[in-house]
Structure 1
């Protein structure tokens, strides 16, 4: 339960920050640059799923499908953004994939711990 709530909070905070700092708009063209049509619509969908889905995950609702969705979303983030920066997020590198790999491990733990 602790891991589920903590990882869910990370997604909620990520989505809220994207709205708060008006980063949904720039996220749309980024998604289009990766081949997704209607990038702004995707950006809003991802953001809303992070906020609403993260809240539901924290509450223990729709745990398996949300964990699977967030694993895919995080894996895409690794592929599209973090892989080229290497492993480390800070210290020996910048913007790497270590945090994302940990998030995926937490989501797998949530799936394995689901009753």
Structure 2
């Protein structure tokens, strides 16, 4: 298999793994704490505007994770998820040390890679752009 043939598959696998991790973590917060409990938790960590940040993070991690898997809106969603992980590193994991921050750092970098890679040929973004181009050419 040539590199050009492997790239879409490797980006798809990365999207599935990264998106699934975000979905699982978002649902975990929602199921274990609920929105109110997550707001209280964020507030206890000193996260600014916890009443806004907590629901936004829950929504971003679940819906954004699904968008990453589909490869939809990757430039925006990928950057937003990277910012989410910056917050997780700064407020939650970073104070605990390097080991605690490894997953967040990996997700941050992976989200940026997907944001700026276009997600590959098997991404909804790419399929939509190809359809848009073919319609414009007609």
TM-score, normalised via structure 2 length: 0.68
Structure with bigger helix share is: 2
Q: Which residue of 1 aligns with 2:48?
A: 36
In the alignment, the residues of structure 1 paired with residue 92 and residue 103 of structure 2 have an alpha-carbon distance, to the nearest angstrom, of 12
Q: Which residue of 2 aligns with 1:13?
A: 24
Q: Which residue of 2 aligns with 1:99?
A: 103
2:66 to 30, 48, 55: 55
TM-score, normalised via structure 1 length: 0.80
Indicate whether 1:27 and 2:20 are aligned.
no
Gaps of 5+ in 1: 89-95
In the alignment, the residues of structure 2 paired with residue 3 and residue 108 of structure 1 have an alpha-carbon distance, to the nearest angstrom, of 12
Decide which structure has the larger Cα Rg and report it: 2
Contact kept, 8 Å, 1:24 with 1:40, in 2: the verdict is no
Name which of structure 1's ranges 99-108 and 22-31 shifts more when overlaid on structure 2. 22-31
What do you get for the CA RMSD once the two structures are aligned? 1.8
Contact kept, 8 Å, 2:23 with 2:62, in 1: the verdict is yes
